Structure 1
Amino acid sequence: MGKQALEIFRESLPVLQVLSDPNRQDILLLLSENGKMTVNEITEQLPLSRPAVSHHLKLLKNAGVVGVEQLGTLRYYFLSMQDSVDLLRRLLAALERDCL
């Protein structure tokens, strides 16, 4: 693996790690199917507690995979994956260039 590919891989690790959890995958699927959702709306659809859903959303938000919008007292979560997808595309291109 070349130096640039390794740097991009290391930069991609937070996204790859956050996407590896099945519960977070389920949350992303719900958001992709339903658009903006509150923690309570997500919790109603999953066999997880509200604190567990909040924890997963925090990790997804910190990795830049979801965004949050405050409307009154409600926080709506939504997919925000463009930067992550662009980073993973850069990783794939670097791996193809340097490793194949």
Structure 2
Amino acid sequence: MGQRAIETFRSCIPLFQALSDPYRQDIILLLADKEPLTVNEITEHLTLSRPAVSHHLKILRDQKLVSNVQKGTQRYYSLELEDATQLLKELIDTVEITCN
């Protein structure tokens, strides 16, 4: 496997780690269905505490899977999947080219 393929795989590790958690998957699916939502609104749909939801949102935000907009005292979270989708497409293209 070429160096480009290895680098592409390595660059996907943080994204895979963020997506591997079932609670973060639940948050993504919830936002896909009902965005935008506040932390409190997300917490109402999960069995997690508000601080735990905030922690998971931070991880998703760090990986650019969600974004937030401040409106008054509330932050509203929405999906932001373009960067992740592009990275995964690059990984698929690289694997197809180097492994076939």
Q: Please, what TM-score do these two structures have when normalized by structure 2?
A: 0.97
Q: Which aligned pairs between 1:6-25 and structure 2 lie closer than 5 A?
A: 6-25=6-25
Deviations 1:30-70 (A, max 9, x none): 00000110000000000000010000000000011000110
Q: Which runs of 5+ in 1 are unaligned?
A: none
Q: Is the 8 A contact 1:2 1:99 kept in 2?
A: no
Amino acid at match of 1:14: P
Greater mean deviation of Cα atoms: 1-10 or 84-93: 1-10
Structure 2 residues without counterparts, runs of 5 or longer: none
Q: Percent identity?
A: 53
TM-score, structure 1 length as denominator?
A: 0.97
**Separation of aligned partners in 2, 1:77 and 1:27:** 10
Structure 1 counterpart of 2:45: 45
Partner of 1:94: 94
2:36: which partner in 1?
Answer: 36
Deviating runs (4+, > 4 A) in structure 1? none
Alpha carbon RMSD of aligned pairs, Å? 0.7
